[in-house]
Amino acid sequence: MSDLSTTRMPAFMRRLDPAVTTAFVCILVLLLVGSMYSRNFLSPEYLLQQLKVASFLGIIASGMMLVILLGQIDLSLPWVVTVGAMMSSAVAGYGELGSLLSVPFGILCGIAIGLINGVGVAYLRIPSMIITLATNAVAQGLMVVYTGGFSPRDNASAAMRYLATGEAIPHVPNAVICWLVVGAGTVFLLTRTTFGRSIYGIGNRERAAYLSGIDTRRVVMTVFAISGGLAAFGGVLLAGYASKAAQSMGDAYLLPAIAAVVLGGTSILGGRGSYLGTVAGVMLVTLLLSILSVMQMPEFGRQIIYGVVIIGMLLLYGRERIQR
């Protein structure tokens, strides 16, 4: 980047990522389109409801973003979400103590799967796409055996329901607060800690990061564990929201999570991206899905438009530079 042109711009403009800006502009466009369809679309209640729905995706996408920043990908997300939901509901059945432990236990299960991914990627050097596919299959197998192939009968605990649907502060759903906490934590991690800087370093070039004294393998392993934990936390909240876990409830979250991260300007090759972009991406995806359902689009149309819009937006700003 040339210094001359950038120094003349005000500081806040210089820091703006064109991708993030485009994403926010797209959100405004979506809001406009939505408001043309229905007057309720811009009402505070509806927007708050959207924010609540977005917070589930936001929490899950936060973990995915960290992994993508490393230049890796976590395809075990669908069943880690489901494991989080099912295991926390399962523990909730064990009386007072179980109800208390349900949330941490669900998250712990996610962290455990994430750790396996992390060890595979960091220490065994297995490509992340393969090892996470494999752990996804194992997690699915475990849950199929656990439930016997039927939808599970356990109900979500009171704590889970409170986290997902309650309102500790009037008019602010707890799910949104959860996302705020997770988001603040991620931003702090990425911008204020050595750990966060090493994530960016590894994403740019792991070799260089290793040579500059970072224990890259430990960082990669930890990030996968965090991603697993966050995905499971998302699952716990989803179970609390629906008051039940369901088979393959996580399938609907893989594409949106990756899409949200990538639409937010994070490079799928790693090393570049900001959390603000991911927030924009999450809102973008949620609004898009919500508009399609407001328009009463049948499922097939939703899938087609969804795919086309994602490709279109990526063509706008997600393109790689020409290698010459």
Partner 1 sequence: MKDWRFWLAEQRGTLLAVGIFVMMFIIYSSNHPAGFSPNVVQTAANKGVLLAFVAMAQALVVITAGIDLSVGMIFTLTNCLASWVVVGSPLQVAMGVIVVLGVGSLCGAINGAIVIYGRLQPIVATIATGAVYFGIALALRPTPGGGVDETLADAMTGRVFGVVPASLVVLAAVVAVVWVPFSRSVTGRAAYATGSSEAAAYMSGVPIRRAKMAAYTLSGLLASIGGLFLTFFTYTGDAAYASGNAYTLFSIAAVVLGGVSLFGGKGSAIGAIFGALAFRTIGDLLFVFDFDPLWQPLFQGVVLLLAVSLGAFGLFRVRNRLDWFG
The string of DSSP codes covering 78-98 is HHHHHHHHHHHHHHHTSHHHH
Q: How far is the CB of 110 from partner 1 (least distance, A)?
A: 17
Q: How far is the CB of 184 from partner 1 (least distance, A)?
A: 27
Of 305, 299, 294, 316, the C-alpha closest to 31 is 294
Nearer to partner 1, 114 or 240 (CB): 114
Residue 100: CB atoms within 10 Å: 16
Nearer to partner 1, 101 or 314 (CB): 314
Nearer to partner 1, 41 or 224 (CB): 224
Tell me how far apart the alpha carbons of residues 238 and 282 are, in angstroms, rounded to a whole number: 16
| Residue 144: partners with Cβ closer than 8 Å, 6 or more residues away | none
Q: Tell me the three state secondary structure of residue 169.
A: strand
Residues that bind partner 1 (CB under 8 A): 73, 120, 124-127, 129-131, 133-142, 144-145, 148-149, 206-207, 210-211, 216, 248, 251, 255, 258-259, 262, 268-269, 299-308, 310-311, 314-315, 318-324
Q: How far is the CB of 83 from partner 1 (least distance, A)?
A: 13
Nearer to partner 1, 118 or 120 (CB): 120
Q: How far is the CB of 131 from partner 1 (least distance, A)?
A: 6
Tell me how far apart the alpha carbons of residues 312 and 319 are, in angstroms, rounded to a whole number: 11
Nearer to partner 1, 65 or 182 (CB): 65
Q: Alpha helices of 213-321 — where are they, by DSSP H?
A: 216-242, 251-263, 275-294, 299-317
Q: How far is the CB of 77 from partner 1 (least distance, A)?
A: 12
